[in-house]
Amino acid sequence: MKINEQYAKLPGNYLFSEIARRVAAYSAEHPDVKPIRLGIGDVTRPLVPAVVEAMRKAVSEMGRLETFHGYGPEQGYEFLRNAIAEHDFRARGTDISPDEIFISDGAKSDCGNIGDLFSIENKIAVCDPVYPVYVDANAIDGRTGDYLQASGKWSDVIYLPLTAENDFVPELPASHADLIYLCSPNNPTGTALTRKQLSVWVEYANQHGAVILFDAAYEAYITEPEVPHSIYEIPGARECAIEFRSFSKTAGFTGTRCAFTVVPKTLIRQGQSLHAMWNRRHTTKFNGVSYITQRGAEAVYSQAGQKQIRADIAYYQNNARMIREGLKQAGFSVYGGVNSPYIWFHAPMDSWKFFDLLLQKAHVVTTPGAGFGSRGRNYMRVTAFGEANDIEEAVRRITVM
């Protein structure tokens, strides 16, 4: 027997375990200090009442003989797929049908598993900085070549730099890319692609027979009209793109787990329907999200649910504004936070060093940009998830540091 040797190539500590280790070490030495955590991208507001009520009702259905549900459809219950197609796509004039939507337990799982559809010979392109899951999942599959310790990059990956100079908009690669991961609004930079900027990529993918893997986990935070909510708003995207969405940041489902992936039936490569392939993969390796959770997700689209989740999103958006304005006033170059819960700001030194300094001097936990790629090494990511009072205090402490 032989193990998958790719695991041995993966670089050391996962970003958030290293952050946790440093915070734990600091707290052990300074037990009186309570750091304010603006590091991990996890929501803090509880599930909204409409969702809780729907889940309670679903629990009692599960406890009665007449209304019990066993295995559901692997692709998700029709009631949820219909609600998503109607509210997230058709109501916005986007042509996506319920059977092109696959319900899952998370955008992370889907972004990681989508590689099952593609040969390991494909060349992947990712932004730098990037949500680490895209690269690591491809590394496990064997699609990334060798890990180059000195640069922190993989030999066979095309990196698309996101810098202040290019306004954090990825430019088309110099060499051919087969699989292109785009995240908008982006984690970690908090910036978003406009319709025009995204159109360039859709055109590229269709011309080159490439596939765009479009992560829209932060779609709910979009405020600017020129930023599309779905890649399918762009003509031609149905022929070249798969979209990942999640209830995690939209409705506080990070601990409840529900997401969905859209694979249009018009996405064909080498004569094969990627929709049919994903359906095969999903029904083989996945047994569906719980009925209770899907009923909770359905309630997100009710009138009450929409009003309640929008209030929570507005709360985080206001936090984002406070962070953005506060850090700007403190003299930092600040990006993102307008269409996203993430704020990305320039650090005056190496980001891990600045992480330590912010922890020790301001007692604020951030995320060092280096954890997202080499182009992040002089940036910090701060999240707007948290209590407004804490955010205000954290910004004050950084300002007077």
Cβ closer to ligand PLP: 351 or 367? Answer: 367
Interface with ligand PLP includes 246 (CB under 6 A)?
A: yes
- The gap from C-alpha 232 to its chain's centroid, in whole angstroms, comes to 18
C-alpha 212/C-alpha 203 separation (Å) is: 11
Interface with ligand PLP includes 141 (CB under 6 A)?
A: no
Let me know: does 293 contact 259? Beta carbons within 8 Å.
no
Interface with ligand PLP includes 339 (CB under 6 A)?
A: no
Distinct helix (H) and strand (E) counts, the chain: 13, 17
User: Smallest distance, Å, CB 150 to ligand PLP?
Assistant: 27
User: Smallest distance, Å, CB 268 to ligand PLP?
Assistant: 26
Interface with ligand PLP includes 251 (CB under 6 A)?
A: no
Beta bridge partners of 367: 381
C-alpha 395/C-alpha 401 separation (Å) is: 10
Which helix (H) or strand (E) segment holds residue 365: the answer is strand 364-365
Interface with ligand PLP includes 76 (CB under 6 A)?
A: no
State the binding string over 199-228 for ligand PLP (x if CB under 6 A, else -): ----------------x-x-----------
Interface with ligand PLP includes 127 (CB under 6 A)?
A: no
| Candidate segments 105-113, 114-122, 298-306, 322-330, binder of ligand PLP by CB under 6 A | 105-113
Question: Which residue number is nearest to ligand PLP in terms of Cβ?
Answer: 106
C-alpha 127/C-alpha 344 separation (Å) is: 15
Interface with ligand PLP includes 187 (CB under 6 A)?
A: yes
C-alpha 179/C-alpha 118 separation (Å) is: 9
Cβ closer to ligand PLP: 291 or 385? Answer: 385
Cβ closer to ligand PLP: 187 or 339? Answer: 187
Which residues here bind ligand PLP, judged by CB under 6 A? 41, 106-108, 111, 131, 183, 187, 215, 217, 246, 248, 254, 259
